[in-house]
Structures are given as C-alpha cells and as structure tokens.
Structure 1
Amino acid sequence: MDASNNGLKKKPKTRKKYSLFFKFLSLLSVVRGYNIAIIVLAQYLAAIFIFSPDLPLRDIIFNLDLYFLVLATICVIAAGYIINNFYDSKKDKINKPIKSKIDSIVSQQIKLKIYFLLNFIGVVFGFLVSWRAALFFAIYVFLIWLYSHKLKKYPLTGLFSASILSILPFFAIFIYYKNFSTIIFTHAAFLFFVLMIRELLKDLENIKGDIVQNYRTIPVTYGEHFTKILITLLILLTMNPVYFLWEYPEIGMMKYYFYFVGIVFLFVLVYLWKAKTKKDYLILHNTIKLIIFIGVLSLMLIDTSVIIKRILTV
C-alpha cells in the first residue's frame, strides 16, 4: 500500500534549532577552550620566568608584539581544533559520543567558515609583529591541516607530528625573545617526551574508533603491549631531562615539581601495565594532562622573589 495515499508520507528531517548560547558552548567544546587558556597562560608565564627573567613585569604584560603573538596562537590553535574535529567527526561518535553530540550543535559548514576566518586573522596578527611571524603562523596552519588530514592516520608520523605541533607555539615566543639558554632546551625536551606519552595514551584510549576508521596508530598497528613498552621507554627518557633539572639551581623551587613528576611517573608505570580498559587509559591520560597543567603553574616557582620584585616595580 502506498504510504502517501494514507497521509503517512515521511517528513524530511529538520535540524534542531539551538540558541546562540548553546552554539557558543558547542564551539568552545570544539576548539577546546580550556586547552587554549592553558596554552596562553603557559606562554605568558614562560615569557616572564624563562624567556625574559630580567625584564620588568610591565614590559612583558603590556608588550604589544607578545600580545599579538599570543592572539595569533589562539586563532590558529582554535582553527586547528576545528579542522581536527571536522576530520575526526565519525571517529568521535564512537570514542566520545557525548562530546560528539555537543560538537554537532554547530554545523560543519559553519565550523569550516570559522576555521578559515580564524586562520586568516591569526596570520594577520602575526604580520602585525613581523613578516617572519606571519610566515611562521602560515606554515603552522598548513602543518596542522596536514596533520589532521593525513599524518595522524599513520603510526610514527602521527605521534611525532602531534607532539611537535603542540610545542611549536612556544617557539614563536622563544624566537621573539632570542633566549637560547640550556635550561630552555631541557624544558623543551621534557615537555616533548611528556606530550608523546600523552599522545600514546590517547591512542590507547581511542583504539576502538581508530580501528573502525582505519587510523593506523601505534596501538592499532603494533598492539597494546608494544605501545606500553614504548610508553615505558619514553618515561625513562623523560627522566633524563628531569634529572638534569633536579641538579640545575636556576629552576629554584620548581625542582619540587620535578620531584612530584618522578613520583607520579612511578604510579603511571605501575598502573599502565595493569590497564586494560578505556577507563584505565582515560585515568592515565588525565594524569599526564594534570602533570602538564601543574607544570605550567609551577613556572612561577623558578624564582619566587621575581614575583614580588616585579609587582613592586610595575
């Protein structure tokens, strides 16, 4: 029987309408606003306590060039999260169903328009500093797209490119201040290893969706056991810069943070080899994220007297 003859004709599906507030929350979820806030905080704290410890606080906070570099970073990283979300939408429905529903409140077409707009604005902010800064952010935009579109689907390129892209925003500040001290490279080495550990744990956590979408990550290609061995090796490698920083007097009270890191890594190692479920890997992933966040805040411990002196000289 023809359904149309009985008034049973199917109605076309219409997209549910949401208020601007919910769309804004959805965009915040897509661009991971909390991650961007941590990166901005890390950039300013690094500029104050590592890259330019001798400059007055006022000269750093009210430095327009630094301000534009940070704004450019915000724009291109937010755009990067958008394009990453665009390519990972099917995988996220499996790995992160709740977040995926929140992210889908804003249509893919709108997201892409915002993506191109943010990239353009980011490069413009870079140009306000110098043409070299604009070129840096233009290349960074291309690398993020390349990672989201191609590189992340393969084992080693996905691991290394994700870690390098996460640390690159700090190089813009690093190059701007032209501070090439040993302690900066040691901090960078520590952060690079920690970011690689985080990426591997994230891949273990998302292994189900990666298999379905044919992402050849290290856990998918070589198995969970091999990935755990690799994480163990990376933790041991991470302890090299940690040990060096323990002995480095210039880090001041931040040495207690690295003591904390050593203890936490022991927990991570023990728990890692007992981990079997997505929940276990999520706990480990969040532990590494906590290490990074506390590390950002602990930059203020490098020289506590600097805080008082700079506030008094503002």
Structure 2
Amino acid sequence: MNSEKENFHQKIDIKKSFFYRFSQFVGFLLGARFFVAALLTFALYVSTYFLFNQDETFRKFVFDFKVHGIIFCTVLTILAGGIINQFYDFEKDHVVKPFRTRLQSFIKQKYFLYVYLFFSIISLGIAWMISHRVFVFFIVYQFFMWFYSHKLSRILILNNITFVSLTLYPFFGMMVYYGTFSKKVLLMAIFLFLILLCIDIVKDTLTKSVDRAFDYITIPNYFKSKNSRIIIISLLIITIAVSMKLILRTGISGFMAYYFSGGLFVFILCIYLLLNQSRKSNFVTLNILRFWVFVGIIAMLLNGLEGKL
C-alpha cells in the first residue's frame, strides 16, 4: 500500500518537474522574443537572396558562409535585444502581458542576463572572425539595442523611430554588403519603414494608460487621441503614395505588384477602422498591418522564385 502511494507521489513529482522545466523553456523563448527572431531571420534570408543578391547563383549563395555568419550574428543579437528589452520592461509587461510574465517568472532574471551576455559575446566573436567592419556593425547594433531598452524607449517619437530603425538595421547591412542601391529598393525600404512605424504607434494606443503609469512617453499618451489618430492616418496615406510610386514608376511586376496593389485596399480599410475610434478597431488594425508585413515576405519569396525559375 505504501509503495503504491510512493509511486503515485513520484509520478506527481515527475509531472510537476516536467511542467516546471517546460514553463522555463517557454518563458525563455518568450523572453528572448524567439518567434520574432525566427520571422526576421526568414525575412532576412528571403530579402537577401531575392532582392539584394543580384548576381550570385543559388549554389554560390548557399556556400557563402560570410552571409550565413552575418545572419547568424543578427539572430543572436535580436535574441539578446529581446532579453535586455524584457529585463527593462518587466514591470510594464507584468501589467500588459501577465501570462507571458508569469511564464518568465519560472526563470530568475539573472539567468536572462547571463544568456544576454552569452549571445552578445558569441555574436561579436563570430563578427570579428568575419571582418573588422562586420564587428563594428554589430557593436553599433548591440549598443543601440541596449540604449533603446535603457533610455530611448521612454522618449517621445525617438522610441518609435529607433525601434523601427533597429528592426530594419540588419536589412540595411545586407544591402550595403551587396551594394544594392536602386530607386526600387529605396522605395521598398521607405514603405516598410512607414508600415512598421504605423504598427508601433497603433500598438502604443493599446497600452497608453500603462505607458503613462510607467513613464513611457509615447505619441498616444502625449497627444490627444484625435491627434494620434491623425498622425497614424497621415502615415498610412504616405504609405499609399509610396505604394503607388512603386507600382507606376519602378516597373515592379509579378507577386510584388499584386502585393502593393492589394496594399492600397488594405490601408484604406485600416484608415476606415481607425476612424471608428474604438480600442477594438485599433486592435484589428494592428493585426491587419502585422499580417500584411508577413504577406509581403511571402510575396517576395514567390516573386523571387518565379524570377529565378
């Protein structure tokens, strides 16, 4: 009888231990923004091969270990940036994202910092082996990742511009690496910058009361709701203008032409939703814009495959 009770308790302890370890693992993935890093890595590979890489064959690209090294350093830096960002935003996330914070609580904050240092050092070590210029590139990237989390995320306008710029920084690096400078690439970069800026400001509208409580000065909690809405709608109108310029003046074709044409209707829909002046409309707008960025990555992939075949 006692042995049966002991076996029963052992099974419960094993289940608790498994749940604890699993929660630690999931908490780490969320703390490091692993899924965001995975999406950015996919986008970086797609844009590098199909947009920036104009001359290399697929075989040469696969065996270009310098490019893979740069992208790997980028992934480590993004993961490290996610960790340091959640370290500084822990109190705010406790209110805004209670479920994620609960999972992260299974791991002590000092272990997150150890992993942050590990990822940063490994990234810089690999960058040094590639070239001194790449090393400097990632030193700058990591510094601004930390500085954004430590200081800039609380400063009006700079928080949004810095966040979007850091998101696009690796793509700019690959563009410089391949020397791919053209009107089309420039307009696509402006388009992506604008849509990501809209996403970040709309996201701030959903957390403006919490941001105000924790001294994050954002556009929605500094300006009135009406003015914030005007700013977002103005950015969307400029994005529409850039889309039309891409369609009419750059000779863009294939799936990307369909993507930018479809974007005109998507942005008009977002403007209509924002005019409703409700939290639900802002939430729907945020997810539509995020989804449209993902659609853009897929469209670039399909367009590139069509052109390479």
Using the aligned pairs only, state the percent identity.
Answer: 28
Match of 1:175 in 2: 176
2:241 is aligned with what amino acid?
Answer: N
Whole-angstrom distance in 2 between the partners of 1:260 and 1:128: 44
CA distance in structure 2 between the aligned counterparts of 1:24 and 1:60, rounded to whole angstroms: 33
Specify the alignment match of 1:239 in structure 2: 240
Compared CA separation, residues 305 and 286, structure 1 to 2 (3 A): closer
Alignment match, 2:66: 65
The aligned amino acid for 1:259 is S
Q: Confirm or deny that 1:276 pairs with 2:278.
A: yes
d(CA) in 1 for partners of 2:54 and 2:137? 25
Pairs within 5 Å for 1:1-314: 19-247=20-248, 248-277=250-279, 279-308=280-309
Shift of 1:114: 0.7
Deviations 1:140-177 (A, max 9, x none): 11101111111111111111111111110112211111
2:153, 2:159 within 8 Å by CA — same for their partners in 1?
yes
How far residue 94 of structure 1 moved from its aligned partner, in angstroms, is 1.4
1:49 maps to amino acid: F
Unaligned segments of structure 1, at least 5 residues: 1-15, 309-314
Cα RMSD (Å): 1.6
The aligned length equals 292
8 Å CA contact 1:30, 1:103 repeated in 2: yes
Take 2:214 and 2:291, find their aligned partners in 1: how far apart are those partners?
29
CA contact (8 A) 1:73 1:122 kept: yes
How far apart are residue 213 of structure 1 and its match? 0.5
TM, length-normalised to structure 2? 0.90
- Distance change in 2, residues 1:251/1:28 (3 Å): farther
Q: Once the two structures are superposed, what CA deviation does each residue of 1:274-298 show, in whole Å capped at 9, x if it has no partner?
A: 1322x43222211111011111111
Mapped contact 2:32–2:79 kept (Cα < 8 A): yes
SS in 2 for 1:175: helix
Question: What amino acid does structure 2 have at the position aligned with 1:36?
Answer: A
Once the two structures are superposed, residues 54-112 of structure 1 have per-residue CA deviations (whole angstroms, 9 ceiling, x without a partner) of 32112112210111111101011111111110111111111111122122222111101
Q: Displacement, 1:303?
A: 4.3
CA–CA separation in structure 1 for the residues paired with 2:68 and 2:304: 23
Give the residue type in structure 2 aligned to 1:233. S
Q: Is the 1:94–1:208 Cα contact (8 Å) retained in structure 2? A: no
Residues in 1 aligned to 2:296 and 2:20: alpha-carbon distance in whole angstroms: 37
Aligned to 2:9: none
Aligned equivalents of 2:154 and 2:86: distance in 1?
A: 14
CA distance in 2, matches of 1:252, 1:182: 18
Following the alignment from structure 1 to structure 2, what is the Cα–Cα distance between the partners of residues 290 and 305?
Answer: 22
Q: Which amino acid aligns with 1:267?
A: L
Q: Identify the range of structure 1 (66-75 vs 99-108) with the bigger mean alpha-carbon deviation.
A: 99-108
8 Å CA contact 1:190–1:241 kept in 2: the answer is: yes
User: 17-26 or 78-87, which moves further after superposition?
Assistant: 17-26
Q: Is the 8 A contact 1:76 1:119 kept in 2?
A: yes
Unaligned runs of 5+ in 2: 1-15
CA shift for structure 1 position 249: 2.1
Q: Distance in 1 between matches of 2:99 and 2:225?
A: 25
Q: Please, which moves more after superposition, 157-166 or 240-249?
A: 240-249
Cα shift readout 1:235-277 (whole Å, capped 9, x = no counterpart) = 1111222112112224433110111211111111011121322
Greater CA deviation, 99-108 or 181-190? 99-108
Q: Provide the secondary structure at the position in 2 that maps to 1:155.
A: coil
Q: In 1, are the aligned partners of 2:202 and 2:286 still within 8 Å (CA)?
A: yes
Q: SS in structure 2 opposite 1:185? A: helix
Equivalent-residue separation in structure 2 for 1:283 and 1:66 (angstroms):
37
Q: Distance in 1 between matches of 2:124 and 2:188?
A: 27
Q: Which range is displaced more, 97-106 or 217-226?
A: 97-106
